[in-house]
Amino acid sequence: MVVPGAVDVLLVSLGSTVGLREADAELAGALRRAGASVAVVAAARPRDVRTFALTDLSWALAARRAAVRGLAAHAPRAVLYSTVTAALLGPRRGAIRFDAPAADNRPGRHGVWQRPLERRRLREATVLAPLSEAGLATVPRPHAAAVVVPIPVEPSGPLIPPERRDLVAVTYAADPRKKGLNRVLAAWRAVRRPEEELVVAGLAGADEPGVRYAGRLERPAYRDLVRRARVFVIAPRREDHGLAQLEALADGCVLATTPAPGPYAALPIARRLDARTVSDDLGAAIRAGLDGVAPDYAGRARAALAPYTHATVDRTVREVLLPYLLG
């Protein structure tokens, strides 16, 4: 029997950050281009609480409420939970989309109730859809069948040769603690030359010699800023994916980074392009990127990002993920 308003896929979006919401919109678009009808329901942001364990519980309950509403309204053939947290208390078995398992970044008491439930959900899911092979490698075994489906990353415009770029360096610091802004600034102050300037995007602050704060920018303006810079500098405490770094590489920007833990998708790419730009000595990595990076860095970076193009991701969704979802 056909249920009025029924859809092929219900996407339950945690939507706790702008990046997650954008990634969910990309995935919903790919599913629709593959011929599926898709409804998206988003968890309502809960109030702030004091611990990671309570935060995860609040978001999991919010996602469950959204899923219950979506199931009643859309009678979907398949459910796809975006993030493991969204799936923890899901009312129906479904697929799970994630960058990394929550247990991987919730040590000790911070993950005391999540870990056993997470293992069960990852084992019993209809299919897993991690963003990267590195993210999948962190999932405890046994687990459900998996299809790696990256977030699409494309250049924001024509490639600008290094000699024509009018900005020396840029960093992204919407979450300054997570992105290691203090370490970026310390390294920059130690190695910059008098005429060189670092632009800090995503955060307002007090300018200083050699450092300018651009504040929060609309996405096109931010991508244009990165495309004009020679080096993208970052020192994350932990990186579960690193979309900003992948976008910087797509725009021909040299990535100078610390080797952060986590399924950091851009890290192996950066090492292959020029290993000197990945170092715990971030100042040395910055100077390597500015003073003599390996030949044809930008062209090789774009080639390395071929698996992340819309065309490649759409093909994976159409030919592999959607058949798993709809059986």
Each residue's pLDDT tens digit, 176-229: 999 999 999 999 999 999 999 999 999 999 999 999 999 999 999 999 999 999
Q: At what angle do helices 243-250 and 297-304 cross, to 10 degrees?
A: 130
Q: What is the pTM of this model?
A: 0.91
Tokens representing residue 139 in the block? 């999932």
Buried b vs exposed e over 205-215: b needs ≥16 C-beta within 10 Å? eeeeebbebbe
Element (H, E) at 136: helix 133-137
Each residue's pLDDT tens digit, 284-322: 999 999 999 999 999 999 999 999 999 999 999 999 999
Tokens representing residue 102 in the block? 């929550």
How high is the pLDDT of residue 1? 43
